[in-house]
Amino acid sequence: MTFQHFQETAITRFNDFFGSPDILPPAKAKRLLAAMEYSLLNGGKRIRPLLVYASAQACQCDLALADYPALAIEMVHAYSLVHDDLPAMDDDDLRRGKPTCHIAFDEACAILAGDALQTEAFSLLSQPIKGLSATQQLTMLHTLATASGVYGMAGGQSLDLGAVDKDVDLAYLETMHNHKTGALIKASVLMGALCHPQLSQETTQALSDYADAIGLAFQVQDDILDVISDTQTLGKTQGADAALNKPTYVSLLGLEGAKAKAKQLHESALLAIEPLGENAQTLRQIADYIIQRVN
């Protein structure tokens, strides 16, 4: 299967599952629900759901089991973007080429939409899921919660805000992005693998090392694109990090140094999943896809 075919199939599967009438049924708070759906369906390449499905595939699991964690992690990701765009955070007007949630609706509604997307993600994963044991679901919940909180994404966002107008070193930057971006990407890979009832320690370690590498590569790529691309292509304001005087891999390593870093991380990701053989081919293709966008 080509990566394009997998991507199209997985995204169709994701959209069909999200469209199920029992996922987000009609609510009295219609405007809030509209803001949630706007934020969740506002484009995007669905990298995190793709990683959930690809990891489940690598572990030879039924992809139907991956529908729940795929949607749950995208809900958390969408919530993080809604809040990240708020005036108190990055104060951005564009997200994926469209007005950000607080512009399309209003600031209070955007805050509530983010809150609700986050809690609905955990509600989704905590209901009985046919084919998954209570232990598997509990482990998925713990994985997602840890990746979302102070030891994951939220902690990384705090470090990011704390670095504005300050000189930080490469170690600080990597710690920040391993939390802010890498934690949810790693959770995506691990939650897909957790669809398997008896995952070996060797497989878990291989996927964990792969996820660490592509999680950081994804952010290096983002920093490069913020310099070499334009607002229309990015779907968000080009040069936003520079305008806010935020440290990036480009500002610390230079453009060529950042590209070399991305290449090294790509090689590390591929090496990590060599033991998984052909079952991990789609994970390799996702790593290629991430790096190809910066070359």
> Domain residue spans in the chain?
3-292
pLDDT score for 243:
52
pLDDT score for 165:
84
Q: Which of 15, 22, 32, 236 is nearest to 115 (CA)?
A: 32
Half-sphere exposure of 42 (CA within 13 A, CB side): 24
pLDDT score for 226:
85
Q: Is the dihedral of CA 28, 31, 34, 39 positive or negative?
A: negative
Ramachandran angles phi, psi of 164, nearest 5° = -60, 130
pLDDT score for 227:
86
Cβ neighbour number for residue 21 with a 10 Å cutoff: 7
pLDDT score for 292:
76
Q: Is 276 left (phi over 0), alpha (psi -120 to 50) or beta?
A: alpha
Q: Which residues of the chain have pLDDT under 70?
A: 230-245, 293-295
pLDDT score for 166:
86
pLDDT score for 1:
73
Architecture of domain 3-292: Orthogonal Bundle (1.10)
67-84 and 182-193 helices, crossing angle to 10°: 170
Distance CA 140, CA 124 (A): 11
Instruction: Confirm if 224 and 255 have CB atoms less than 8 A apart.
Output: yes
The C-alpha R_g of the chain, in whole angstroms, comes to 18
